[in-house]
Chain A
């Protein structure tokens, strides 16, 4: 009896003092802070551990969702929001959230972080999301696979269009993967709309597969199902750190883009959310990024002193200084159009595209043995047909086309109509290109 009473009193006392503490520390971050993220456990676990150590009393609750599902989730639950932070790679996703007024502006106090990385602003100029790690895009390949299939080491995007890479290259669909979308957009911005699409389609003629999720590509390269993948750098670096026989290169037309974190509008635990942003940007938080399982590029240049000599440093490495500037607004304005063009002209027509490309590779081989001007001209005609686009750069950004994809309030062309037009454009052109290519092959032989 006595025991129970003591226990009761003790509990009461404890809970009383606990509530006093809460009142006293009302300003200090405490309790649970929820983050929706597309990052894997290998990234979130070490950061969670370090954060909870740095800010005692706060627990980080990680909800793992892919970027698209995460955006959708935040949007669907905004009426009764339970999420404090959104944490993902693609700046586009944050632009979408910002556009829907689902983010809170904040001014980080962290120091030592420059305004730009390469030519890309690290933080959102409007202050809704903040870059905490940089990533570049490039080409990853499996060394064992390359040796067995006698593949040369690729250096540039154009290399992947060479006959030797036929059926050995893999990519994620840009409509499915925010990072691949940025890769495609980088090529389009770096080489220009028409030339960029030609490069992309010539590479695509060598695609083995088009994956529906970003991680599918490094996974296939790691296991040796596919030789070469177009990926974001940390996929390759962390695979190397885990011991997979893979290599990686940044082509000269590429860009570094920050991975971001942002505070959701109306967060249940604002103090802790801010604490998390500050932690990520602090030297301690930045150093966690160097861990072998994470391997992302910190945005604080001072942190690289603790990294190994062979760790890529975008602030000193000349390769990164040459990288092109990336226009986020341009990219955001035509996201849906670019992704749908890729799907309709490439993903869903891949067999036709590859069929033409295979013949063209044969023509090249024949021409190398015995030059023939007529065949060369025909092959070029076929390539022009393959590269043709149903819309110009200006049209792609036009309000009319954007309207078809936003499902907005205004009436206008339906997405399905536009898609059907593009698909038949591609089908017709690829059929014509195939005829030309076969003619060229006949002439060349």
Chain B
């Protein structure tokens, strides 16, 4: 109480404190070392002339002139935009109903609604085809009963369907976190002024949760734009990310075009993020009232309850069908051209039981460390960007976001090039250590955690920090005692997203795994899914992965609910 700081609001306006500058430099160094440098060793060829190392832009001219690439670019934009629309349709009711009302099983709904994000590679695809494919369960039954089929998984519309089912949890989790942070006083003020129902939601609640929604929506857009697994699974090749992947991993490995496409992907992703940041610029989403915050939870009338639960169950059934397929597949003996498997067995679980423990252990360790690195970096970058005026601070954000657009295999090759030459004293290459896999995972999943932390910080009013500093707290102490606790929901959302998606990552992992004892679950799955006899065990391993991640997610939702109850949020 003694010294009144003389420059409470000043430092924020000019440069930063030495501590902030050091932090920014450390993050920049980390990103340069583990993202920019390795990737640059691979994609610099995009800017060189064939056969020489002269700088040129002729490759980009080739890109624009090639009909296939331009068609792919347009298709990618179209699919990404439509996926955002459909993902919102799935996510909005789930997020709103579970945060706005006294909803039994909200934590379960939130957990289940999160599961689609954890679709283990390969088996997930097989399960989805077995359910929704041209000769999947649903179409075989439709054909049997009514004599027609629905092309759920055909062409661009198929990609949109699968992508919106797969990625809508990004919106769900970020929007839910934002809705929990909306100031109840705002809502009450609106109600006092006579607003209610949908109008209240449209004019007051949703706009206040906008940072969360946009964080999720921009992630969906960029992720769909950069995703190659789903289009390839559906055999759609005229989109940009599959084109880059196909070229980099096969015929065009020596050709600059694959890397040119990677550069285009990076530019498009960063632009999308920049636009979403622009959309929020000049508006203030921060609210001062914390702790008691969050929407007032209403009790539903019986009619509303029936309607609400009906919608929630309908959406969950649709988005969880692939997981149900996966579960059936893991117990199936033979499942071929029939609505259900021929018979059931537990033999697949017995087969994976022995070896899965090492995979589970590795997955938990890798994903936890990667998620941890991501939220630490995410909070730090969000703080530097939103709370300081350091020159070039946005570049940290852009750099981290660009990671989203880099194909995993490019990152993997880059890591091998950069770190394989560096050896430890006993001759083991640095790239052969498992920590390299963790770093690759952390870099690839950083954008998820970053967006969540960013949105969380946007909703916190600066005045709370100013108050703390007025009371004599140092910057570091303010961050530790005020900012981070208030961001807790967003941080946890970021951790869960990074953790769970890192747990099923494959493309970079596949390049970096050096031995079976260091391999995560996704690699074990890949190894199984190369043969007919491995389909069942692969599915069993997939189920293990999903349960593992789901348990962790459920626990973190319980923690969120507890902490909010503890803050006096109960009704």
Contact = CB atoms under 8 A, between A and B. Distances in A.
B228 to A, nearest CB: 9
B420 A77 contact: yes
Contact of B250 (A175, A239, A412): A175
A215 B122 CA distance: 11
A225 B135 contact: yes
B134 interface: yes
Nearest to B536: A242
Contacts of A73: 416, 511
Contacts of A239: 532
A243 interface: yes
A421 to B, nearest CB: 10
B337 A223 contact: yes
A144 B511 contact: no
Contact of B255 (A223, A225, A415): A415
A52 interface: no
Contact of A79 (B130, B421, B515): B421
A107 interface: no
A220 B220 CA distance: 29
Nearest to B254: A407
A411 B527 contact: no
Contact of A243 (B68, B333, B420, B431): B333
Interface stretch (A5-13, A37-45, A391-399, A433-441): A37-45
Given A410-B51, A423-B67, A63 B129 contact: no
B475 interface: no
Nearest to A41: B527
A40 B534 contact: yes
Contact of A415 (B49, B133, B252, B511): B252
A73 to B, nearest CB: 7
B338 interface: yes
Given A41-B534, A347-B237, A144 B421 contact: no
B315 to A, nearest CB: 26
A416 B62 contact: yes
Interface in B3-59: 49-52, 58-59
Given A42-B534, A347-B237, A417-B62, A80 B429 contact: yes
The bracket for how many chain B residues form the interface is 35 or more
A68 interface: yes
B515 A224 contact: no
A393 B129 CA distance: 40
B451 interface: no
A286 to B, nearest CB: 20
Contact of A405 (B58, B251, B533): B251
Given A40-B527, A225-B136, A82 B429 contact: yes
A343 interface: yes
A419 B66 contact: yes
Nearest to B335: A223
Contacts of A145: 135, 337
B336 interface: yes
A242 B533 contact: yes
Interface stretch (A21-29, A205-213, A361-369): A205-213
A38 B531 CA distance: 11
Contacts of B297: none
Given A42-B533, A238-B533, A348-B238, A68 B249 contact: yes
A193 B423 CA distance: 50
Interface string B249-290: 111111111000000000000000000000000000000000
B526 A64 contact: yes
A414 B129 CA distance: 39
Interface in B429-458: 429, 431-432
A41 B530 contact: yes
B126 A219 contact: yes
28 contacts: A40-B534, A41-B530, A42-B530, A42-B531, A62-B516, A65-B510, A68-B253, A69-B510, A77-B431, A144-B338, A145-B337, A176-B249, A222-B535, A223-B130, A223-B335, A224-B135, A225-B136, A241-B533, A242-B334, A244-B336, A339-B251, A408-B51, A411-B51, A415-B252, A416-B59, A416-B62, A420-B66, A423-B67
Interface of B: 49-52, 58-59, 62-63, 65-68, 126, 129-130, 133-136, 232, 235, 237-238, 242, 246, 249-257, 333-338, 409, 413, 416-417, 420-421, 423, 427-429, 431-432, 510-511, 513-516, 523, 526-535
Given A215-B531, A235-B532, 20 more contacts: A34-B515, A40-B527, A40-B534, A41-B527, A43-B531, A69-B409, A76-B416, A77-B429, A142-B336, A173-B246, A176-B249, A215-B530, A219-B532, A225-B129, A238-B532, A241-B533, A347-B237, A407-B256, A420-B66, A420-B67
